[in-house]
Structures are given as structure tokens and as C-alpha cells.
Amino acid sequence: MTDSKGLRFEDTRFWVTHRRCEYGPFDYEWSEDLRGIELHYCGVKFGEVCSVHDLFADMKEFGLPMRVVEVACVVFGSSLLGITGGFSAKERDTLLANNLRQFDCDDFLTDPFDV
């Protein structure tokens, strides 16, 4: 049986479980020129981070529940901040857990991130 809420990670991909339904994979990859980061849902590009001041993202076409979108945004933001900031794996986990708590998404915390 699937948990009611949570996050699952595999390499750069992650899935959000909400109301016992799993959404994903969410993923990112560096743009071809290595100047930006493309955001993907189920293999479809929905956004791009060009700089700390230039971001575009639109998940409307996927019809995802707003709570899934909120959690995915916190996970993406935390992950990309940690990676581009050169954080260690432990620091990235702590950042993610703290941000999930800060943005009232702590009900999605799972064991590896309960720091």
C-alpha cells in the first residue's frame, strides 16, 4: 500500500505522493549551453532556471493538484540551491527538510530527511 504523503528520490528524479497517488518523475538537467537548468515532469520540459533572477515554470498543462505543485517547487528550489551552492549531501538534506518545514510541507518529510 502506498503511503498517503511523501517523497521518493532516485538520482536526480523525485516523485511526490499525495493522497496515495504518486506524481512524477520530476527531474532537471543542465541546458545544452550549461548556462541554465531545465525542469521536467514525466520527461516534458515545463520550465527553466536561467539565473537566480530569471526563472520560468508552468505546470498547468499537467493538471496536477496544487499541493503537488507546491511541494515540487520547494524540492526543486532546495535541490538546485544546494547543488549550485556546492552543499554536501547532508547539507542538501538538511536544507530540504528545513524548507519543507518553512513552507508548511513537512507532512511530506520521509525518514532520510527527518533531520
Is the pTM here over 0.85, yes or no? yes
Q: How does strand 54-57 pair with strand 37-41?
A: unpaired
Residue 52 has what DSSP assignment? T
For the four alpha carbons of 41, 85, 7 and 105, in that order, the dihedral sign comes to negative
Report yes or no: 9 and 17 within 8 Å, Cβ to Cβ: no
List per-residue pLDDT tens for the chain, 115 residues long: 457 899 999 998 999 999 999 999 999 998 887 778 999 999 999 999 887 778 889 999 999 999 999 999 999 999 988 988 899 999 999 999 999 999 999 999 876 554 4
Could you count the other beta carbons within 10 Å of the beta carbon of residue 2?
11
What is the C-alpha to C-alpha distance for residues 20 and 3, in angstroms, rounded to an integer? 6
